[in-house]
Amino acid sequence: MLSTTEAREAVLSSMPEFPAEVTPVGSANGCVLRQIVRAERDQPPFDRVMMDGVALRFADVEKGAREFPVQATQAAGDPVLALQPGSCIEIMTGASLPGNADCIIPVERISLRNGVAVIDDDYEAKIGQFIHRRASDHSAGAHLLAPGKRISPMDVAIIASCGLTEIEVSRRPIVRVISTGNELVAPGAPIKPQQIRLSNGPAIQAMLMERGYAQCVHDHLLDDLDELRERIAVHLAEADVLILSGGVSMGKADFVPGVMAELGVNVVFHKVSQRPGKPMWFGIGPKKKAVFALPGNPVSALVCCRQYVIPALAAASAAAPQPPEFAVLASDITFEPDLTCFQPVRLVSSAGGQVLAVPVKTNTSGDFTALSATDGYVELAREQDHFPAGTAVFLHRWRAC
């Protein structure tokens, strides 16, 4: 068996790179950027007024003036006016600073009397206040976003501010999630006492779609060799990545490894030294199609998806590597060594600002209901059997951060 580190490296080194494509900016959220995004203009592109109020010359205030005739009104987007000495211009948030003005008095600190703005007696003005200076955020041509960035809504705002209507990103992979097993019954369908509801596939699909992999479809196949061969062959031809759940262990009905061999999928590894998820299988098929066969136990399937599939899709999308995250154990953990343990945890913050990992017990790897109360899992090295409270360990969150 491979160690968890060896398995992860084997997956990452085997993955193809998804090609780049151009997509509308409005559809880019969640995609991985494949180009440099440069500023179209200075930001802000002019001296921007930050408060509703009046614009005036600070030199006039310094001379003791407290009353200023209102010369004109300038709203956001209006042409820039030139301020006359001794006067003020009524100004709106977002407007360009009038010529000759260098101070903004907020509307809350003035009163208007017969076309004259009067500054409150107790208000002390300062030169340059409430003025967002031109290019103080960045200059025209500045590099704002780099390739490898997974585009967020904030990044969409940046891209749009640069005047771009389209952006180059990694093509979203076509993913097929396949649940196998005669015992599985879809929600809403009649169910017999000896059967269970199908849940792994929808959960894996949701985990992928949450991270931006929208072209993800689920299928359910019975433990029948002919059906498995036929349907998996179709999915292998149509998809970039296959993710199977179940049928990968050592039982008589665990047909997946044999079917994969018949379809020309070369095994990279089968079994990883970990708990849960030891039976995991990974291979590369024709045209570099990646195939993940995850154990059927729900906790095992979800852990393996988060531990191997998610990083593999990110690497194939040319996403920048994420730095490791750590948490501190909130209580002692003892387990049998020889297998890396992925322990589900709930996260809390200590008074000192540490991220504390509180172990959450699962009643075997089939107890997926317990995972709802967890934020992720910590990685406990197989070389140890006891981890005291206060130990810093690797943290893997379920949800994208």
- pLDDT band at residue 311 under the 50/70/90 scheme: very high
Lowest mean pLDDT segment, chosen from 107-116, 180-189, 357-366: 357-366
Range 30-55 average pLDDT: 97
- For 262-308, how does the pLDDT look when each residue is reduced to its tens digit (9 = 90+)? 999 999 999 999 999 999 999 999 999 999 999 999 999 999 999 99
pLDDT at 353: 86
**Is the pLDDT confidence value at 400 over 80?**
no
Burial 367-399 (b: 16+ CB within 10 A, else e): ebeebeebbbbbbbebeeeebeeebebebbebe
- For 197-209, how does the pLDDT look when each residue is reduced to its tens digit (9 = 90+)? 999 999 999 999 9
- pLDDT band at residue 337 under the 50/70/90 scheme: confident
- For 133-143, how does the pLDDT look when each residue is reduced to its tens digit (9 = 90+)? 999 999 999 99
Domains in the chain with CATH codes: 4-18+172-316 (3.40.980.10), 22-43+137-170 (3.90.105.10), 48-132 (2.170.190.11), 325-397 (2.40.340.10)
Lowest mean pLDDT segment, chosen from 129-133, 247-251, 252-256: 247-251
- pLDDT band at residue 330 under the 50/70/90 scheme: very high
